[in-house]
Amino acid sequence: MKGLKELSFRIKFWTYDLSRLNVWEEYGVGLSKAIIGEYNIEPKYIVLDPPLSESELAYLSEVARRLVFIMPRDALESRDKFYEVLKRAGIRDEKLLYYLDREIRGFSSLDPLMRDSNLENVECNLAGTPILVVHKTYGRMETNLVYSKEELDELVVRLAHMAGRSVSTFKPKIDSAILPGGHRLALTYRSEISPTSSFTIRKFPEKPWTITKMLVNKMLTPEATAWLWLLVENRLAIVVFGAMGSGKTSLINALMNLIPPDAMVGTVEDVAEFKIAHRYWVRLVARESETIGGAGRITLAQLLAHALRRNLDYVVVNEVRFDEARIWAQAIALGHGGVTSVHAESPKLVFARLKDLGVTPSLLSALHCMVWTWLFKAWRDGRQVRFRRVRAIYDIEVREGEATLKPLFTYNSEEDSLEHGIEDILDCNSARVILETNGWDEENLLAEWERRVNFLRKLADLAGRNPSVAELEMTSLIFKDFYRRNPMRKLRRTRAQASVMIPETSEHRYCPSCGRELPVKGFKFCPYCGQELALSMDTLLNRD
């Protein structure tokens, strides 16, 4: 048809001369290989794709062009179904299946980077220059992926489309959009506002951070976690602060594991990042406007104002940047529990930012704790590596409009641990509030804190031996049961379960009350709604 551009696929595959590389590590990503090493003192991230001949390239381009119009919708939602359809059509070569999958369902030649769970960011600043990645261990590195100006234009249009958005020379940027998999996308198009098209993808982890993972990875210690747990349970507000990429949002997501299971939780996010297994969860996500005048935009501040009209026990915001800071502070001053984060690199800057955002001294008195996250760098085996830790935990006390910070936990790099003093904890402002709220004396508080420390130590030890215990469903189940039963009893049951192979997805059963899929068959109750179930853990363990 005249004027209609024919759909075409430019299939790229990546190669590299490894003789120039001092290889540190390599692993598979689909049928491709990710190879990390050093060249001219610079770290490199190399993608090696399965090689394609000219005839294979032509064949794949033609097949992809035809399949995009006839592939059933359900086959596009599942790799297994997609492969099944292709095999029925006579395409059985694993290499061809792999390339067709990434061209039609995936991110085209960018797909190996998007599949690699070790990468946190994928960045392209300029056509004709190497794509950059941020590796969770090695940091930022150049890759062997390079796109021409035209190829990069096509790629950002594809990314925008995958995020359900459009981009053009009239509207040449997207500030924030969500790609399949929950990854956050920002991009510019052509040379309207940048030299060439460009993009940044902040990757969302396939499996969310839990408090158990924080313990296993040593970002937190059992002692510090037990203290934060007491604060969360008693609805004492926490502000997490640190530099970009220091783990603020991940820590907030993990702290929500500690919220009592019968509490109503409201989360307010600029983009959907939180992932929790809480039954009573009101999720609110801001909306950008697609119109010229900005009509239809819904801000974090508007969502927070709406949240205050809901019967919420906790109000959690992934990050406060503007008016929402003042409204969140008002929410916690009214008695809501709450957690949020602030982008700042020192405690003093946190207070300065909150003051600039309209949080008055009277509202500051509702804050009880600040947690400082930090991205550390160190040299190991002749190469620089990165790791995230909580650098400090402060207690906050506001008197006569002046905020005083008292360090309760401080990171010791030599011991790779958070140091603390019992006397400092018992003598802080938050401890006095907890004592008054619960009618405890210091002995009661110390006993409760130590009980949780012991619980968390055993949980971390168990998760270190059986990683499935650290995943969201199991962590949620364990903490829910902590509130329902004796925690030692739960740990014994979980330890017994650690030796049992978790059934495949096809073996899972569903809760008859809420209908949600259960992580493992055989529990006495649903971890999401508490519905009593027919089978007990003992029944499962005693089966032949």
Contact 257, 476 (CB under 8 A): yes
Which segments of 209-267 does DSSP mark as H helices, in order? Answer: 211-216, 222-233, 248-255
CATH class of the region 12-123:
alpha beta
Q: What integer pLDDT is reported at residue 535 of this predicted model?
A: 40
- Measured between alpha carbons, how far is 144 from 18 in angstroms, rounded to an integer? 11
- Measured between alpha carbons, how far is 189 from 100 in angstroms, rounded to an integer? 26
Mean pLDDT along residues 269-278: 91
Global confidence as pTM: 0.82
Range name among 6-10, 141-145, 236-240, 397-401 with the lowest pLDDT average: 6-10
Mean pLDDT along residues 431-455: 94
The CATH 3.30.450.380 domain(s) of the chain lie at 12-123
pLDDT at 500 over 60: no
- Measured between alpha carbons, how far is 346 from 242 in angstroms, rounded to an integer? 7
Mean pLDDT along residues 139-153: 97
pLDDT at 271 over 50: yes
pLDDT at 287 over 50: yes
pLDDT at 342 over 80: yes
- Measured between alpha carbons, how far is 536 from 393 in angstroms, rounded to an integer? 40
Other CB atoms within 10 Å distance of the CB of residue 41: 6
Q: What integer pLDDT is reported at residue 7 of this predicted model?
A: 56
**Residue range 33-92, pLDDT digits in tens:** 999 999 988 999 999 999 999 999 999 988 888 887 888 888 888 888 888 888 888 889
The residue ranges of DSSP E strands in 332-450, in sequence order, are 337-343, 367-380, 383-399, 402-412, 417-420
- DSSP state, residue 507: G
Give the tokens for residue 273: 């990042």
pLDDT at 542 over 80: no
**Residue range 206-256, pLDDT digits in tens:** 899 999 999 999 999 999 999 999 999 999 999 999 999 899 999 999 999
Q: What integer pLDDT is reported at residue 293 of this predicted model?
A: 65
pLDDT at 506 over 50: no
Q: What integer pLDDT is reported at residue 517 of this predicted model?
A: 63
How high does pLDDT run on average in the chain? 87
**Residue range 164-195, pLDDT digits in tens:** 999 999 999 999 899 999 999 999 999 999 99
- Measured between alpha carbons, how far is 468 from 380 in angstroms, rounded to an integer? 28
Mean pLDDT along residues 463-469: 92
Q: How confident is the model at residue 534 (pLDDT cuts 50, 70, 90)?
A: very low
- DSSP state, residue 517: B
Mean pLDDT along residues 137-162: 96
Q: What integer pLDDT is reported at residue 41 of this predicted model?
A: 87
Q: What integer pLDDT is reported at residue 313 of this predicted model?
A: 95
Of residues 334 and 114, more confidence is placed in 114
pLDDT at 522 over 90: no
The CATH 3.40.50.300 domain(s) of the chain lie at 211-467
- Measured between alpha carbons, how far is 498 from 470 in angstroms, rounded to an integer? 11
Specify whether domain 211-467 bears CATH 3.40.50.10860: no
